[in-house]
């Protein structure tokens, strides 16, 4: 059985990483328009890392939910015992 806090972190990590990517790319565009190309490049690399974490998070979430659905059939449900 997968611990519930681990699933919670994966679920809440998706929107956080999407927002972080959007903010980082916006900041990179703003910084580049102000003329600081090296800082914009750094921000783009950090945004790329956020996208990689987002992809890993999505894959882990799909795997965890798949394992939970397989494990769910082996446990007795509370509503069946009535």
Residue-wise pLDDT tens digits, 38-61: 999 999 999 999 999 999 999 999
Decide: 43 and 26 in contact? Cβ < 8 Å.
Answer: no
Which tokens go with 67?
């394992």
Continuous segment of H or E residues that includes residue 39:
helix 37-72
pLDDT at site 75: 61
pLDDT of 82 > 60? The answer is no
Query: Which residues, at least 6 apart from 74, have a Cβ–Cβ distance to it below 8 Å?
Result: none
Is the pTM of the predicted complex or chain greater than 0.75?
Answer: yes
Could you tell me the residue ranges of all domains in the chain? 10-58
pLDDT at site 76: 61
């Amino acid at each position: 059985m997968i611990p519930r806090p681990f699933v919670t972190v994966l679920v809440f990590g998706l929107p956080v990483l999407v927002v972080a990517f959007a903010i980082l790319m916006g900041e990179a565009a703003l910084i580049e328009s102000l003329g600081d190309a090296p800082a914009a490049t750094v921000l783009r690399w950090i945004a790329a890392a956020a996208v990689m974490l987002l992809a890993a998070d999505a894959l882990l979430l799909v795997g965890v939910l798949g394992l939970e659905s397989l494990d769910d059939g082996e446990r007795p449900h509370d509503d069946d015992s009535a």
